[in-house]
Amino acid sequence: MKELSAPLITSGLKTTLIGQNVLYYPSLSSTMDTARREIKQGANEGTVIIAGEQTGGRGRLKRAWLSPRGNIALSIILYPDITALPYLIMIASLAAVQSIETAAGIKTQIKWPNDILIDGKKVCGILIENEVKGNKVSSSIIGIGINVDLDVAGFSEIADTAASLTSKREKHDIRIKMIKALLTEFERLYLLLPDGKSIFEAWRARLATLGQRVRATSGNLTIEGIAEGVEESGALAIRGADGVVSKVVAGDVTLREK
């Protein structure tokens, strides 16, 4: 599989903000940690950190995220207005969906709030870390990991829940095409802000979770019922067997369809 590089990614990229500065590393512990260091050194908004392999990646709720060579692990640095924060998870999810469908031609769905699924299995994870001081956002880092060429059967902890875009029978490198599509769509959506209504509506339309019986857990709290709707803030409304509707906030829970 061809080695990635910053020139390969930026060549022909028609964005004006996202990806105008790409920092590529053959191997990193975490693109999120590297992005944080770049922010301290004054990195421009839209800077993208990409790793050929990521050895210490993490997902939501401090879970590990596997990203050996042949897959996509990147982080995008933003300096958004605080009103944009609820939409970042939606923008990242929609951009990931679009990049997969553009590059691989595979239909995907979004599991609330931001897992990208193929046939019910997770192919992409998204992690957002915001630094907020008072009523201002100092920085946001959007981490996106996509299983492009991952032998999921070789990892017992994810063998039943994860998916990959290619298999050993289908060896064609779609990473460059996918990264360019991801950055292009991310910028298109990000520049729609502060008007996020169309972003919210597009994200809601792709949610596979709505109408499903779900269980949301946060610490010792468990909520079970039907995922009845979602608010523009990103909160999920779950109606329990007693008819009571509970609101679940993205980032605080895990969600499992039953």
Same domain, 103 and 222: no
pLDDT score at 218: 73
In contact, 136 and 121? CB cutoff 8 Å: no
pLDDT tens readout for residues 147-174: 988 766 566 566 677 888 875 445 567 8
In contact, 237 and 227? CB cutoff 8 Å: yes
Same domain, 164 and 112: yes
**Residue 107 token pair:** 């239909």
DSSP-assigned letter for residue 34: H
Same domain, 199 and 218: no
Looking at residue 248, which CATH number applies to its domain?
2.30.30.100
**Rounded (10°) angle between helices 175-190 and 85-104:** 150
Please name the residues in contact with 135: beta carbons below 8 A apart, sequence gap of 6 or more: 82
Whether residue 118 is contained in a domain is answered as yes
Same domain, 27 and 155: yes
Same domain, 110 and 218: no
Same domain, 103 and 227: no
Is the predicted pLDDT of residue 229 greater than 70, yes or no? yes
Whether residue 179 is contained in a domain is answered as yes
What span, in angstroms and rounded, lies between the C-alpha atoms of 200 and 93?
11
Residue type, 244: V
What span, in angstroms and rounded, lies between the C-alpha atoms of 58 and 77?
17
| Number of neighbours of residue 194 by Cβ within 10 angstroms | 9
Whether residue 1 is contained in a domain is answered as no
Which of 169, 190, 206 represents a domain boundary (last residue)? 206
pLDDT tens readout for residues 88-113: 999 999 999 999 999 989 999 999 98
What span, in angstroms and rounded, lies between the C-alpha atoms of 191 and 193?
5
Q: Select from 101, 148, 159, 154 the least CA-distant residue to 125.
A: 148
Q: What distances in angstroms separate CA 90 from CA 151, 218, 225, one per listed residue?
A: 28, 21, 23
The range of the structural domain enclosing residue 139 comes to 6-206
Say what the pTM is: 0.90
pLDDT score at 68: 72
pLDDT tens readout for residues 27-71: 998 999 999 999 999 999 999 999 999 887 555 545 556 677 788
Same domain, 69 and 123: yes
